[in-house]
Structure 1
């Protein structure tokens, strides 16, 4: 198949927008004008880079953006093809309306959920992949996960989370959300599951898509309010180490009360320890799984600790739960990929994982201090424990939240608000959920004065 002619692309090499963002916008325009049509094959990233005099990193970033947005698709061995073309309509009378730029085109993304890959030791990363590639290819699937991965997780949980476990008690997963979806399929259809409100909406959606009834579980500044849990639930999903998104740590008394109530009422506790390793002030409290191994399923992930590239996580739970998950995998043929497990085990094998975690804690502790100082300088405060990779900046109401997010987007900063993390009725609290792990140090330093300036126009709560 011939590659279509690409129209002249003008890039502002001195402009504020990254060249990859500009190139992606130019290719979208080419599709809108009809120069590119659905099914057309784009030049390779190397060829386009040579034509435009760019680094291949720039053209690859532009293609990745278009892939993420669904405009193009990659076919192994064939290339990159246009899959969607914007509809062209006749212009309306009068001046065109002002359309805000999509969040994905923001220069600096301060939304939560992105790990700090900047501190990842690239030499250790390459060593781990080489070691993983040296392993003999598997002839049979391992639905429970690789033994060496289980051993690495056991060591990690004991050293960094205080949870004793045996390798046979660990199931490999494709990450926390994938594990939640698997657990959901082991519960009776129509069963009630309590989910923190506000909370992690992907968890709620994964549970709901399995035919479960989702009910809100109230949280406050210290996490799940155990006394307010609704009765008659089959499971409770929570984030006790660092409640998402408010950032509180569940006190010891509430932890014990939750475990005791689970035993008394016969429900399962799903403990999502998505960033529990990242604590900067005091020692972590005992995990729910350590207090109630008979009623708690503990979930962990490499995505926040290292990178989502590995696509791997772990589940530690009661024998009946593990058996139900394995039965589901056997019936559906689903199982986590062993590739990420091999790399994780290789990183952990020679102490690289522990060294990375020490660097990561130092880096994120410093970033959190910088964020708090910048926000505090304009009269606002950050809330949430000194842990994880995000803080909350309370605002007076939802209108202020929307205004701050819009103003920041106009200046090239993507922000997140608490409204998005509510699932029932109107949001009870308003504010920013500000992530500080994803951007590089230089980008974070550029972004913080902009965020502070935007916040200065709004009174603190």
Structure 2
């Protein structure tokens, strides 16, 4: 160990001006920081507490206490006769690793944050929090607050035609968690692979694969998912019947019946992702598939499109035979969703603010979509695929080179877009899936080839 030492006056100079109060804390923080950043190297002998106290013009007690705390935390080593030295420091070894993007790229389905109803939401937070009881602040019912489950059940019955009671609802931290819980329970039951729409959501496909789930394609076209063209025999199928992603079409009545007939005949589960059905601009939203077969369909939904994805609040309405297992899986996953957020959402829905927000968004997003579609028709004499709903449109392109050029142009301008080809399990058709919530038509039109 080095025999070098630092004089009391040099240590005081290194630490800077002494405060009038809090000498012990100041001395502790200053020496600890100097050790961490290398200004006091390992093995350096420190002056005695008596010498430091004399140099600072303070009592010896606070200095001794600071050195004892530094020794307890491993910054210095104190021996009876040799005094204190800076402790040896383990070399920091930082493994080389690739850069990881912590924030995902812009998604075509992301709402405009400028439309978030801050005033009414903050009011709902105040009122909802005031209604919480002391017992609500502990580890509560993993199904969620009773008040929110009542509000969600009522909302789903009135606006989506669902067959649901409050004791059938599980409050979840977004649809992604709902998929995780369902995949976990299905895997434990040995249900087999999960069928996904092809084309479909790349996010859902990647999420399920990351959980170790076996996923298989089920072709989708202008009438939605076609269960008769499935690959193999999946144990469950994930479907977006109200507004297929990315094709933008509803599941046709005939396809709806055939999907439910298949599920009943072979005792399989249909997972309904009702992700943006509230946002239809040319008529009433299409009702949920769950209403036709509540014993075969697990209904998923969230506030991500109407409010904000960062809120991480949603709901799961499973068939009765899976309910207890899913509640147990939710408890094991996170012990329940934040009661303050749940209380706020219960008040927000109960006061009518949720439906007011839906009406506002239908008007604003409907106008923005119409402007974008009009610009595409004027420039290219084409209409995007799908019907007037949701937060995305699909524009088909002549080839994959055009797709890549358009994506590069839009990425430079931070415009949310997906390649249609990425939505397929294998090689797929070229095109762009464009977000309509924030995209201005003048930024989009030049990106598309003539």
TM-score (norm 1): 0.71
Task: Within 5 Å, give how 1:38-437 maps onto structure 2.
Answer: 111-134=107-130, 135-136=132-133, 137-188=136-187, 191-332=192-333, 334-379=335-380, 380-411=382-413, 413-422=415-424, 424-427=425-428, 429-437=429-437
3-state SS, counterpart of residue 378 of structure 1 = helix
CA 395–163 in structure 1, closer or farther in 2 if over 3 Å, else same: same
Range with greater deviation from structure 2 (162-171 or 111-120): 111-120
Return closer, same or farther for 1:105/1:227 CA change in 2, 3 Å cut-off. Answer: closer
Q: How many residues matched? A: 351
Q: Report the CA distance between 1:206 and its aligned residue.
A: 3.0
Q: CA deviation at 1:296?
A: 0.3
Contact 2:163-2:294 at 8 Å conserved across structures: no
**Distance in structure 1 (CA, Å) of the matches to 2:102 and 2:171:** 33
- Offset of residue 336 of structure 1: 2.6
Superposed CA deviations along residues 341-389 of structure 1, whole A, max 9, x for unmatched, are 2121111121111111111111111111011011112114211111111
User: 1:396 & 1:334 partners in 2: Cα distance?
Assistant: 50
C-alpha separation between the residues in 2 aligned to 1:103 and 1:337? 23
Q: Distance in 2 between matches of 1:353 and 1:203?
A: 26
Q: CA distance change for structure 1 residues 274 and 419 in 2, over 3 Å: closer, same or farther?
A: same
Q: How far is the alpha carbon of 1:395 from its aligned partner? A: 0.4
Q: Is the 8 A contact 1:381 1:394 kept in 2?
A: no
**C-alpha spacing 1:354/1:385, structure 2 compared with 1 (3 Å):** same
Q: How far does residue 154 in structure 1 lie from its aligned partner after superposition?
A: 1.2
Cα deviation, residue 314, structure 1: 0.4
Tell me by how many angstroms 1:245 deviates.
Answer: 1.3
Whether the 8 Å contact between 2:416 and 2:435 is mirrored in structure 1 is no
Return the offset for 1:289.
0.4
Change (3 A) 1:320 1:414: closer
Q: In structure 2, list runs of 5 or more residues that go unmatched.
A: 1-35, 38-93
* Alpha-carbon distance in structure 2 between the residues aligned to 1:140 and 1:339: 13
Distance 2:385 2:302 in 1: 24
Rg (Cα) greater in structure: 2
Q: Distance in 1 between matches of 2:144 and 2:214?
A: 30
Deviates more, 1:317-326 or 1:166-175: 317-326
SS of the equivalent of 1:217 reads strand
The answer (yes or no) to whether the contact 1:163–1:289 under 8 Å persists in 2 is yes
Conserved? CA contact 1:114–1:304, under 8 Å = yes
2:441 is the counterpart of 1:448: yes
Residues 396 and 182 of structure 1, relative CA distance in 2, 3 Å threshold: same
Q: Mark the CA change 1:403 to 1:294 in structure 2 (over 3 Å): closer, same or farther.
A: same
SS of 2:186's partner is coil
Contact 1:311 1:340 in 2 (8 A): no
SS at match of 1:160: helix
Per the TM alignment, residue 112 of structure 1 is displaced from its structure 2 partner at its CA by 1.0
- Distance in 2 of aligned mates of 1:121 and 1:333: 28
The alpha carbon displacement at 1:148 in A equals 0.7
CA-CA distance at 1:294 after TM superposition = 0.8
Report if the CA contact (8 A) 2:243-2:276 is conserved: yes
Instruction: Please state whether the residue corresponding to 1:391 is helix, strand or coil.
Output: strand
Q: TM-score, normalised by structure 2?
A: 0.72
Structure 1 gap segments, 5+ residues each: 1-38, 41-84, 88-101
Give the whole-Å Cα distance in 2 for the aligned partners of 1:412 and 1:163.
Answer: 38
Residues 297/133 of structure 1: CA separation in 2 closer, same or farther (3 Å cut): same
Secondary structure in structure 1 of the residue aligned to 2:187: coil
Give distance in 1, aligned partners of 2:414 and 2:140.
46
- Structure 1 residues 345, 377: CA separation in 2 closer, same or farther (over 3 Å shift)? same
- Note closer, same or farther for the CA distance 1:333–1:128 as it changes in structure 2 (3 Å cut): closer
- In structure 2, the CA distance between the partners of 1:302 and 1:333, relative to structure 1 (3 Å rule), is closer
Q: Deviation at 1:282?
A: 2.6
Superposition CA RMSD, Å? 2.7
CA distance in 2, matches of 1:164, 1:436: 31
Give per-residue Cα distances to partners, 1:2-60, cap 9 Å, x unaligned. xxxxxxxxxxxxxxxxxxxxxxxxxxxxxxxxxxxxx99xxxxxxxxxxxxxxxxxxxx
Q: Distance in 1 between matches of 2:333 and 2:104?
A: 38
Q: CA deviation at 1:276?
A: 1.0
Residue equivalent to 1:47: none
